């Protein structure tokens, strides 16, 4: 309760108040409550004083800790320079609407990556059609270092030029490939066809098994790439950030750590199992042996249908399987994302080779050549996509295996 003082009739006097104890034994001193109102002060009026005090605090901090700041700066610059020298690929991490791995995607007006070709080929020219997904498309590398371009360079001569059309698109399956071959690429009169298989085709074929129509998943995106829009301010800032090696090393290191401690895993969504793990028979909750067998049955049926199309065209088909990096060796350096190989029940390369043998199709297993190739062969922190060296290995294998023009 409050008790007015004897001077309450004078407004300029203070008011004494007594707070009633809330618990037995509690005691409070008298407090004084000012009767004069607090004046409002605009934040803008206080802004100069705030800026001045902030600047002074920064200046005082710099004077006290400039040596520590200098050491930190030297360490950061030194780390950046060392990483650039040791692993320059850390500076090419730009993946956007128009770039992959820092390289322009270069989709031409005909809808594929690389230089355009005439619909009607010249009489003295051999034309090879390359079919596949993001591995053949060249995710992460420049268009002129994909295996398709390197194969063209290996086979072409002045007397007998060779054209290799990169008809691959990311995230497509064998159903898409067959449809595009019939609707688009058949008209280009290829002399030979090379198909690079991946585990993604097995999982996507299963995930899309109930579709009623086959539509390319990248058609809208491709139209945007062909128009080559000017980069936005956000794209420029992202590119600038990605040009530093140190943030890339920290990001990739954190990704590896998450897999190592179990914060991330390789489990697929049973309802739509994208990724390569379904092809490997990766055991997990929601995916059983029956689902894995069905996925491979769908894949085999789609491949058989595609082979029937190439046979009708009278064109030789060669099949290559692109293995993920963790299949090459048991070294931790080839399994930086800590795939539990004990949970893999299927060898997709051997499985694909068996299917191709039954279909009478030549098959290339590149594992031995990739293992013996100069490292690195895959993109940094990527077990699916090749770097320029990996693309060269695939191109050389195909050049040595197919019928020479």
Domain containing 374 equals 105-216+262-401
Is residue 113 a contact partner of residue 107, using CB atoms and an 8 Å limit? yes
Here the tokens at position 168 are 């691959």
pLDDT at residue 186, rounded to an integer: 95
Assign 281 to helix, strand or coil.
coil
Question: Which among 161, 151, 169, 70 has a CA at the least distance from the CA of 112?
Answer: 169
* 173 domain residue, yes or no: yes
- State how far the alpha carbon of 70 is from the alpha carbons of 55, 59, 150, 244, 247, in Å: 19, 15, 47, 20, 20
Is residue 89 a contact partner of residue 103, using CB atoms and an 8 Å limit? no
pLDDT at residue 8, rounded to an integer: 47
Residue in the block written with tokens 């051999």: 126
- CA 105 to CA 166: how far, in whole Å? 12
Q: Which backbone phi and psi does 148 adopt, to 5 degrees? A: -65, -45
- Give me the number of domains the chain comprises: 1
Dihedral angle of Cα 291, 297, 299, 303, to the nearest 10 degrees: 180
- State how far the alpha carbon of 299 is from the alpha carbons of 102, 113, 124, 318, 351, in Å: 33, 26, 36, 17, 11
pLDDT at residue 170, rounded to an integer: 93
pLDDT at residue 2, rounded to an integer: 45
pLDDT at residue 272, rounded to an integer: 92
**What CATH number is given to the structural domain containing 375?**
3.40.50.1110
* 170 domain residue, yes or no: yes
- State how far the alpha carbon of 233 is from the alpha carbons of 92, 183, 222, 357, in Å: 19, 39, 22, 52
Q: How many helices (H) and strands (E) does the chain have?
A: 12, 9
Is 146 exposed, middle or buried (CB count within 10 Å of its CB: 0-12, 13-18, 19+)? buried
Residue in the block written with tokens 């060269």: 392
- CA 10 to CA 107: how far, in whole Å? 87
Q: Which backbone phi and psi does 309 adopt, to 5 degrees? A: -70, -45
* 11 domain residue, yes or no: no
Helices 174-183 and 289-313 sit at what angle, rounded to 10 degrees?
Answer: 20
- CA 300 to CA 177: how far, in whole Å? 14
- Where b means 16+ CB within 10 Å and e means fewer, 322-359 reads bbbbbbbeeeeebbbbbbeeeebebebbebbbebbeeb
pLDDT at residue 5, rounded to an integer: 46
Q: Which backbone phi and psi does 99 adopt, to 5 degrees? A: -130, 150
All residues at 6 or more sequence positions from 61 whose CB lies less than 8 Å from its CB, including other chains: none
Note the maximum CA span of the chain. 118
Q: Which backbone phi and psi does 247 adopt, to 5 degrees? A: -60, -35
* 195 domain residue, yes or no: yes
* 10 domain residue, yes or no: no
- Which helix (H) or strand (E) covers residue 224, if one does? helix 219-227
pLDDT at residue 158, rounded to an integer: 87
Give the bridge partners for 165, in sequence order.
Answer: 129
* 35 domain residue, yes or no: no
Assign 319 to helix, strand or coil.
strand
- CA 266 to CA 343: how far, in whole Å? 11
Is residue 144 a contact partner of residue 172, using CB atoms and an 8 Å limit? no
Rounded to the nearest angstrom, the gap between the alpha carbon of residue 397 and the centroid of all alpha carbons in its chain is 26
Here the tokens at position 346 are 């299927």
**In terms of pTM, does the model score above 0.85?**
no
pLDDT in tens, the chain (405 residues): 444 445 445 555 554 555 555 556 655 555 555 566 666 667 777 778 878 888 888 777 777 777 887 888 899 999 999 998 988 888 878 888 788 988 888 888 888 898 899 998 888 899 999 999 999 999 999 999 999 999 999 999 988 999 999 999 999 999 999 999 999 999 999 999 999 999 999 999 999 999 988 888 876 566 555 565 677 777 778 778 888 999 989 999 999 999 999 999 999 999 999 999 999 999 999 999 999 999 999 999 999 999 999 999 999 999 999 999 999 999 998 999 999 999 999 999 999 999 999 999 999 999 999 999 987 899 998 999 999 999 999 999 999 998 776
* 176 domain residue, yes or no: yes
* 239 domain residue, yes or no: no
Give the bridge partners for 386, in sequence order.
Answer: 378
Residue in the block written with tokens 């996507």: 204
């Amino acid at each position: 309760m409050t008790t007015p003082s004897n001077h309450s009739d004078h407004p300029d006097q203070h008011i004494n108040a007594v707070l009633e104890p809330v618990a037995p034994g509690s005691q409070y001193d008298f407090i004084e409550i000012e009767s004069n109102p607090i004046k409002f002060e605009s934040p803008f009026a206080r802004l100069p004083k705030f800026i001045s005090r902030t600047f002074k605090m920064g200046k005082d901090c710099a004077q006290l800790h400039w040596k520590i700041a200098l050491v930190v700066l030297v360490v950061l610059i030194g780390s950046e320079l060392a990483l650039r020298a040791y692993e320059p690929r850390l500076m090419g991490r730009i993946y956007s609407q128009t770039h992959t791995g820092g390289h322009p995607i270069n989709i031409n007006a005909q809808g594929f990556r690389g230089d355009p070709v005439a619909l009607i080929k010249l009489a003295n020219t051999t034309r090879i059609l390359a079919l596949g997904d993001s591995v053949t498309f060249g995710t992460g590398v420049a268009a002129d270092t994909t295996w398709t371009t390197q194969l063209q360079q290996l086979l072409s001569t002045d007397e007998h030029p060779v054209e290799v059309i990169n008809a691959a698109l990311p995230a497509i399956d064998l159903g898409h490939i067959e449809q595009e071959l019939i609707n688009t690429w058949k008209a280009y009169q290829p002399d030979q066809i090379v198909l690079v298989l991946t585990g993604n085709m097995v999982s996507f074929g299963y995930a899309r098994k109930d579709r009623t129509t086959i539509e390319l998943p990248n058609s809208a995106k491709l139209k945007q790439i062909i128009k080559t829009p000017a980069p936005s301010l956000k794209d420029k800032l992202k590119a600038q950030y990605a040009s530093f090696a140190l943030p890339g090393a920290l990001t990739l290191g954190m990704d590896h750590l998450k897999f190592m401690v179990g914060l991330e895993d390789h489990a697929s969504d049973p309802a739509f199992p994208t990724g390569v793990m379904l092809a490997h028979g990766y055991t997990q909750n929601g995916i059983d042996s029956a689902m894995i067998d069905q996925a491979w049955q769908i894949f085999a049926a789609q491949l058989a249908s595609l082979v029937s199309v190439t046979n009708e065209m009278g064109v030789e088909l060669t099949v290559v399987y692109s293995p993920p990096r963790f299949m090459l060796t048991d070294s931790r350096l080839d399994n930086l994302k800590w795939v539990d190989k004990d949970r893999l029940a299927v060898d997709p390369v051997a499985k694909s080779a068996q299917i191709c043998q039954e279909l009478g199709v030549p098959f290339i297993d590149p594992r031995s050549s990739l293992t013996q190739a100069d490292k690195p062969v895959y993109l940094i922190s990527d077990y699916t996509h090749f770097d320029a060296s990996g693309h060269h290995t695939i191109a050389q294998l195909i050049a040595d295996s197919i019928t020479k023009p």
